[in-house]
Amino acid sequence: GTEARASDRLIQIDSKVFQTAWLSQDRDSEGSSTNGSMTSSNRSDASLLTDRYPLPMHLYDGFIPNVMRFDRVVTPIWYVLGLFGNTLSAIVWLSPEVRRNNSSAVYLAALSLWDLAFLLLHTFQELKEAWNISTQNTFTCSCLPVLLLTAQYLSPLLVLGFTVERWVSVCFPFRRELLCTPRRACSVVGAMTVGVVLWNLWQLYFKTGCEVAEERYGWTAYTVGTEVVISGLVPAAALVFNLMVLREIRRINSASAARKFGAAAPSVADNGGGAGQCGNASRDAGGGGAGGNTERKFRTTTVTLLCVSFFVILTTLPAGMVYGLQSYANFGSINMTDEEVLADPVWQRHFAMTRVKKVIDEVSLSHYSLNFLIYLATGMQFRLRVADIFRRIRRISRCCRSADELSGQRRRSRTSWSATMEERRLSSVSNRRSRRATMAAAEAANDELAKSRRARSQRRAGGSDSGGDEPGQSETGGADGAEAAEALVASKV
């Protein structure tokens, strides 16, 4: 019980089960400890611990507040790193260029997606257990356990899958092109997912609402069988295959060094006989041209997969040990004052175990969030892909800024054009009005000139009719009037 499933159950221990264990302390036996460690006289002036602290979270906030603060600070950090890292990893491993000839990319892409799903689903339980925010509904009671356990189970299974795939590639290189293909990897991942989902659907049979009906037949066999397979056999098998891969890599490196210095390569007999050797393992460690480049990529991927596999095992091993020791850290007596709880050795042992458990829980949660750091540290191709993604993001942001600037320029141009057109319109209106006023003035001047000419003609006609009396005066008066009229017309024009 020291492997992945044990750690997952440690992380995901149902708060309702924990709360039931806390509230189920015997309220009627007011002086007896739950593990028989101490007795005290009946008290009528002190309430029970379960009355003062209704939930375990309240108890820990009162006696070990630093532990709860640690949980509330570190877990969101894992969420942020995991959401960013798993999303980035999934984009890289799902790209066609990476998946085309790399079956391990299929396993790593699936691992990134399921780790991302686990972190998203884990937030519901974190809100309930660390922040006392109720998330109880139909989804969290029925669907959430199935999906959460599916993500937990698939993590060690996928690690085992790409470990076996790498063992075949290293120990049976001539079968690698036949057995280790992206299509076959997709089939294996799909079969694992379907099998785990169907297995977890049995959870619904043992549930009554949000409670587990442990009295139903088969619950013990179901849980114990799952623990044995997921927590024991799967991680143990992954560890064995990892050791076999490391042994074969060491043998290949020794053979390469022997050829480099002109010594004979170690034979099968020199390495312990055929029983300890992988079949068809006689391949060159180096190579030139495209073959050497492919071999280097293969070795880089092997290092990445081994690091991920050992990281998962190392982060789950302490959690499994703590999970096995939880039975030795039961609650103390609930019929105590706060001062007596601080002095009680049973309660202090429980609080000490809780501190260790919380720290190891956060360490175990890290393998759902930090795999992308291993990819960055060990994979040159992964780093190049990540750099390319950020270059594309920067290019897109520049294009967006350029588009915004161009749009602003267009808006400013449209505004300037509108202002220019308005000025032209106003100028045209003013010109039309000026022309109309000028034409009206000219017409008035022409009318005045015509009137003055008619008046002069009439005067001339009248002077000739009067017999020529004072003709000079009449003509002079008529000329003066005509000149005055013409001067008036000219001034108006």
Q: What is the pLDDT of residue 44?
A: 36
CB 135 within 8 A of CB 128: yes
Instruction: Name the more confident of 51 and 266.
Output: 51
* Mean local confidence (pLDDT), 93-116: 90
CB 388 within 8 A of CB 31: no
Residue 327 DSSP symbol: G
CATH topology of domain 4-266+275-378: Rhopdopsin 7-helix transmembrane proteins (1.20.1070)
Instruction: Name the more confident of 385 and 287.
Output: 385
pLDDT tens column, 161-214 = 999 998 998 888 888 888 888 899 999 999 999 999 999 888 888 776 677 666
Furthest-apart CA pair in the chain: how many Å?
165
The 10 Å Cβ neighbour count of residue 355 is: 15
CA distances from 123 to 60, 72, 114, 269, 425 (A): 20, 11, 14, 55, 65
All residues at 6 or more sequence positions from 475 whose CB lies less than 8 Å from its CB, including other chains: 460, 463
* Mean pLDDT over the full length of the chain: 76
pLDDT tens column, 427-466 = 887 888 888 888 888 888 888 888 888 888 888 887 665 5
Tally the C-alpha atoms within 13 A of residue 16's C-alpha that lie toward its C-beta: 12
Residue 14 sits at the vertex; the CA angle it makes with 83 and 144, to the nearest 5 degrees, is 50
CB 161 within 8 A of CB 192: yes
Q: What is the pLDDT of residue 177?
A: 83
Residue 203 sits at the vertex; the CA angle it makes with 201 and 209, to the nearest 5 degrees, is 115
pTM: 0.68
All residues at 6 or more sequence positions from 349 whose CB lies less than 8 Å from its CB, including other chains: 328, 329
Measured between alpha carbons, how far is 142 from 210 in angstroms, rounded to an integer?
A: 7
378-382-387-392 Cα dihedral, nearest 10 degrees: -170
Measured between alpha carbons, how far is 270 from 1 in angstroms, rounded to an integer?
A: 38
* Mean local confidence (pLDDT), 40-61: 68
CB 23 within 8 A of CB 50: yes
Q: What is the pLDDT of residue 327?
A: 58
All residues at 6 or more sequence positions from 6 whose CB lies less than 8 Å from its CB, including other chains: 227, 231, 316, 319, 320, 323, 324
pLDDT tens column, 276-317 = 455 544 444 444 444 556 667 777 788 888 898 889 878 877
pLDDT tens column, 315-353 = 877 776 676 666 566 777 888 888 888 888 888 888 888
